[in-house]
Every structure is written in C-alpha cells, then in structure tokens.
Chain A
Amino acid sequence: MLTANWKLPTEKLIFAPILADIMIQDINILNEKDTRSGFGEGIVEAARRNPNVVALTADLAGSLKLNQFMKEFPERYVQCGIAEANMMGVAAGMTVGGKIPFTTTFANFSTSRVYDQIRQSIAYSGKNVKVCASHAGLTLGEDGATHQVLEDIGMMKMLPGMTVIVPCDFNQTKAATIAVAEHEGPVYLRFGRPKWANFTAPEQEFVIGKAQVLAEGTDVTIIACGHLVWTAVEAAKELTAKGISVELINMHTIKPLDEAAILKSVQKTKCVVTAEEHQANGGLGDSVAQVLARNYPAPQEYVAVNDTFGESGTPTDLLEKYGLGKDNIIAAVEKVMKRK
C-alpha cells in the first residue's frame, strides 16, 4: 500500500516532543503495522504496570487485538456482547471502586452509538474511562460508510473534560495507550484498522497535549493527526524537494490542544494546512482555526472530508477519492501560500 523507501532506523530517529534538527528527508518507515495492534500491545503494558486496568469489549476482542491481554489477565477482561451502551455504563460504574476501564469497539460504536451514555455517565460524571476506538475513518475500507465514522473527533472534543487523542502510527499508539492509563480522567483514543507506515520511535515518551514537531520550516505549517501524519510526511518531502520549507506538526492530542505550538509555528510561516481523516466540520482543522481566529488570523486550508459519507473501497482508493491523499496536501499547501 505504501510506496516510500524502506530504510533502517537511524540513531537520529528518536523523537523528543520538540525536535529541531530533524530534517523531513530523515523521517523513514520502520515497518508497516496497524495502529490497533499498537493499542493491543500498549494495553498489556499498561495492565502490567497497574492492576486496576481492565478491558471491556463488545464482541470485538479480536479486532481490537486484545488476545494477549486476555491471556495474561483473563480476570480483568470483560466481554459485554454486542451492547455498547451497556458497556459504557458498566465502565463508568467500574471506576467507582478504582478500576481504570478501557472500552474497546469500533470508533463508530464507541461514539455515535453511545454518545449520551458517554456524555452523562462518563464525561459529565467525570469518570476515569478510556474509550478506545479502532477502525476509525475511511481507512477501515470495504465495510463502508455505516462503519466509517468521520464525526467522532468532533463529537468527543465537544464534551467538556474529555481528552481526545489520535496517534499517528503503531509505536505512538502503543505509547499513547500507556500514557492514558496514567492520566486521570476520561479519554477518547482513536486509531485504525489497516497496516500503515510505522515511523516514530519505538520507545517514545508520549506527552498528552504536547504537539510533536516533526520538521521545522518557514514557508508553511502542516498540522496533521492520525494516519494522515504519514501522508503529510510524504507530501512534505515532495514540497521540500520543490524548495518549499515546511514545518510539520503531528497534533496527536486534539484536546487539550497545544495552542502555543500552533501559534509559534504560524506566526513564523503565516499560513497553515490541516490534514485529518475526519469531516472538515468539527475536526482538528476547526480546532486549529479557532485558535488562529482568536489569536492570530491566518490563511488556512483543510484537507478533510467535505460534508459527505464514505463508501466501500480500499483504504488508499478511498483516501484519494475523498481528497485525503498526498497530492491533496501538496495542492492545499500551494493554495494557502498564495493566500498569504
């Protein structure tokens, strides 16, 4: 699926949250892995560190890669059947007594299906539940629009007190899973189904709310999350080759948003492109636009789904058809720079 050159990881490839001297051309694929498997490894590690971590599922233990967790911690694994609303309520209840429940199902059934249960029993009640959502976005592929939730970031970020995290690859999803177990409060953790470029450092520290600057530049800022971070890396490489100096930010935490990182970057580049596997309405782009509108208005272009449902297809075909490909990011950069 991915065409980028394979290259062994180099010593330089250890990302601190802000790393100034990494050049975009130095960012390379380590391997291809699904982010949900990163979650599967992360929750095992979190459970080893903290006996209060419990995993709930709604008939999707295999899809969410809970196999190892079930083996190691059978008594801390709760099968809820195909009943997501109940699962959210049960998770909220288990926090009363100190458990740290991780609910696991597809992103659509983790959000739209159970919005009021999350809103009242988890967010409003301030419960320490980690809503872990796989198969987010178009890249779940052939199952089609009924399963391709493209509104979840919006729904979740609107809930007061909810932390919203969208890691970009396998390694980062694993690190984020471990980090959210240590964080007190409700979290929405969004990841995906397909094998995707895994390029961030294997043993990284994940700091919730701290943007990751992948490359520094002066002409344009690209802010991306999730699978589209790698797409943005590929776009940035091409733009760099064309002589455009790109600052690339991986905004893995949509909420709380790293406003300082956005402002610092856009004050320098004077324009921004946001890229996400989500509706333009209510996603990362809107969060960035709000920060800019309030503090430092600047031209912005969105690479996002434009008020439409998805459909069946392969992940790459879908990203291309719905305008979320590398070329769309490049075109958006060229457009936004003209608007400066």
Chain B
Amino acid sequence: MELNKLKDIATQVRRDIVRMVHAVQSGHPGGSLGCTEYMVALYFHIMKHNPAFNMDAKGEDIFFLSNGHISPVFYSVLARAGYFPISELSTFRKLNSRLQGHPTTHEHLPGVRIASGSLGQGMSVAAGAAMAKKLNGDDRIVYSLHGDGEMQEGQNWEAIMFAAHHKIDNLIATIDYNGQQIDGPTDKVMSLGSLQAKFEAFGWHVIELKEGNDMQQVITTLETAKAASGKGKPVCIMMHTAMGKGVDFMEGTHEWHGIAPNDAQLENALGQLPVTLGDY
C-alpha cells in the first residue's frame, strides 16, 4: 500500500485510540499511540493475513500482542483491516463486549489468538506458534510485539534462549523501546542495560529501528527483518518509539501509560489528528 495511505490509516487509528480510552475513562493510550506505525505497517502492508479469521492461520503470517495493555491500537487496526465491524470499537472495555480490557480468545474476537495482559508470556507463545509452523512445513512468519518494561519478566529470557536453541528463524519479535513503564522511565525502575547486546548474546539477529514512528522506516525495517529470517536465527527489532506519539501532551512520558484523557484533553488531542477514514 502507498505510504500516504498508510499514514492516513495511522492517523485514524490514533483517533480511535484516544476516543476509545476516553469513552470508558480507562485503558492505555501511551503505548498504543507509540506502536501505531508498526501495527498499521504490519496489517496493511507486511503480513499476509486473512480477516476471515482462522485460528490456525495455515499459510498466513501471524501476529501476537504480548504487551496486551495496548489493546486499543490492536483493536482499531483489526477493525480497520476488516476483522470485525468498526462500530464495535465503541464497546471497548464495556460489559458484554468482545473487546476486553486486554485481548482474549475467550470472547472469540476475530484476530486474537491468545490472551495477554499478564506481561511476559507472549514470547513463549510466539516461539511455540513459529515452531508449529515449521512442523507443518508452513513457511510464513510469526510476528510478536513486547514492551521494553515487559522485558524485565524472566520468562522472556527463557523463551529467547529457547528460540535461539531451536533455531526458530521464522520469528520476528519487536520490542517497543519507548523507555517508559508504569512507575517511571525504565532506566529508573529497572534498567535494561543494552537489550541489543543481551539478545545477541542469546543468539538472536538484532535490527535497530531508530524511528519507530516513521512509517517509511518501519516498513523498510520490517522488510529487512523478513529478509533476515530463515537464516537459522530468530530476529529481534529494537523499535525506538515515543510513548503517546501524535498527541503532544502525551508524548514521551510514562504519565500517559494508562490514564484516559478528559473531555478537554480529548478535544485537544483530536485537533492534532484530522479525520481521514471516518470515526467509528
């Protein structure tokens, strides 16, 4: 898809995110806004996937969201890609909705293949799904997204060791490297050191994405990662983003990890994000 069209989708997705979170006065706008380019690029340009959802996804690329709290961006992109009606975004976090606070398979929302929300579990799941693809002789790719704070969970490192040991080279795991988590900057809460060096030491091929909010760079990097797959090593993209990207007062601070804008803040935010495809 053309770059300008992808950018328009991203702007609309950002509108969806702030409106969804505002409507229920809960949810996580910060990480969602920061990962918008990545999610749009993946679903509208990079992945081979079928919105007529099939859990097993044979012959399709798969995406797993490990940092489940950024469900707003996931739901908006899935809806805009045709997995379920866009109008359903208005049910986010409400009683009897398929759009749970954190993504689940329990309510059978098309596009979701695993529950996430309790952090640190998605890397293992992605490795397992990638392994199943290999066993099935399916050469498509498994993509996964993880928070940087989330990397503090030890289970990730078990999965990272596992994936390298088993040469799971059809896995492309992306880290949302925004430097923020709930209690503050990751460096203050629990410093991650060099994540790149850590992944490399565990036997992964690491690619740095300097501008994770630049659509062109995101696409180029995902294509580079695809080209690097199938070579005996799992691939990791270290994706530098700004938490809250696209809404100036939310940008670059952990304060907007998980709080909702009030009415005035919503208006201000929407003023910075022109309607492109039509609101839900």
Contacts and interface: CB of A to CB of B under 8 A. Distances in A.
A118 to B, nearest CB: 15
Contact of B149 (A81, A317, A318): A81
B104 A145 contact: yes
A57 B119 CA distance: 15
A215 interface: no
Interface in B85-118: 93-97, 99-102, 104, 106-107, 115-118
A126 interface: no
Interface stretch (B57-65, B168-176, B182-190): B182-190
B37 interface: no
B76 interface: no
A253 to B, nearest CB: 28
Contacts of A109: 118
Contacts of B182: 59-60, 62-63
Contact of B68 (A59, A86, A146, A312): A146
Given A145-B100, A311-B100, A312-B100, A82 B27 contact: no
B152 A83 contact: yes
Contact of A309 (B26, B106, B119): B106
Contact of B102 (A57, A86, A113, A146): A146
A313 B95 contact: yes
B104 A82 contact: no
Main SS class of interface, B: loop
Contacts of B26: 141-143
B154 A60 contact: no
Interface string A284-317: 0000000000000000000000000101111001
A108 interface: yes
Contacts of B208: none
B119 A82 contact: yes
Given A82-B153, A318-B95, 9 more contacts: A59-B183, A85-B154, A143-B117, A144-B117, A146-B104, A146-B115, A146-B118, A312-B94, A312-B100
Interface of A: 57, 59-63, 79-83, 85-86, 108-109, 113, 141-147, 309, 311-314, 317-318, 321
Interface of B: 24, 26-27, 68, 93-97, 99-102, 104, 106-107, 115-120, 149-150, 152-154, 181-183, 189-190
26 contacts: A59-B152, A59-B182, A59-B183, A62-B182, A62-B183, A81-B181, A82-B181, A83-B152, A83-B154, A142-B26, A142-B93, A143-B102, A144-B102, A144-B104, A144-B117, A146-B101, A146-B102, A146-B104, A146-B117, A147-B117, A147-B118, A311-B95, A311-B107, A312-B97, A313-B96, A314-B95
